[in-house]
A and B are shown apart, each in its own frame.
Chain A
Amino acid sequence: MAITFEKALGIHESAMRLRGERAGMLASNLANTDTPGYKARDFNFQEALDRQMTGRNGDFSLQTTQHAHIRGGVKGLGSVDALYRVPNQPSIDGNTVEEQVEHAEFMKNNLEFQASFTFLNSKFKGLSKAIKGE
């Protein structure tokens, strides 16, 4: 049985990357708490992870069949669809960031990142144990 990293690491590597991406998005929301007209963004983690694991990504780039073709299309969001958060209370300046909601999501995301990290770490530990034959 051959060990490949893809098989060994499974879902956790993708999960951790997406957690990092989501942390960035939530950090943007928190940084823009006082920016008029800013719309809070987030993405559906479950859907994004599904997409990662099945290999479908949200890249709308054009297919190139010859090397001279120009790569076009929307690259933008890479593998995730950034959606807009629906606020509980509207504000007069058009800003939809609700600090407590974003803060809670950020903390939750952080913890889940650590969980994914722990899983990934133990996978690596297992691999190195298998290699050493302990």
Chain B
Amino acid sequence: MSLSNIFNVAGSGMNAQSIRLNTTASNIANAEASSASADTTYRGRHPVFASVQAAMLNGGDALYSEDQSAVGVRVDGIVESQAPLQPRYEPESPNADEDGYVYYPNVNVVEEMTNMISASRSFQVNVEVMNSAKQMVQRVLTLGQ
């Protein structure tokens, strides 16, 4: 394992967390986007994280690589929340159906806020790791001077 691998790993972590932050922003922004039918209503989106071997990150063959210790993060996909939508009785809304109901997204703003804080903290940790790795590499470069 070389120190430069740390940059790949921390970078993949930062990437994953920023995707998580993006979906959270999208969820909060659309939290009050009501719609006339359940089909067209916005549903909360959440990324699914999975770990990925470092050799795969570099496009190599994971099975016979020298190093299987470094593990990055990959976003496996983004799934829509299957929680029930919130129908509200708002007959005066222009979106209301014939029974006077509008559908609101199944986004829980409190949950999204905790997700946001968690994502930004994890992002910070990865930045810190990268900074430390940078320092280590820079020190190695000054060896013998």
Chain A interface residues toward B at CB < 8 A: 16, 20-21, 23-25, 27-28, 30-36, 38, 41, 75-78, 80, 82, 99, 103, 106-107, 110, 113-114, 117, 120-121, 124-125, 128
Contact = CB atoms under 8 A, between A and B. Distances in A.
Nearest to A114: B139
B136 interface: yes
Interface stretch (B36-44, B70-78, B92-100, B101-109): B70-78
Nearest 3 CB-CB pairings of A with B: A31-B13, A28-B71, A124-B144
B12 A76 contact: no
Nearest to A20: B3
Interface of B: 1-3, 5-6, 9-10, 12-13, 16-17, 20, 48-51, 54, 64-73, 118-119, 122, 125-126, 129, 132-133, 135-136, 139-140, 142-144
Nearest to B126: A31
Nearest to A23: B6
Given A21-B1, A36-B49, A77-B68, A31 B73 contact: yes
Nearest to B6: A27
B13 A32 contact: yes
A27 B10 contact: yes
A35 B73 contact: yes
A98 to B, nearest CB: 12
Given A110-B136, A114-B139, A32 B73 contact: yes
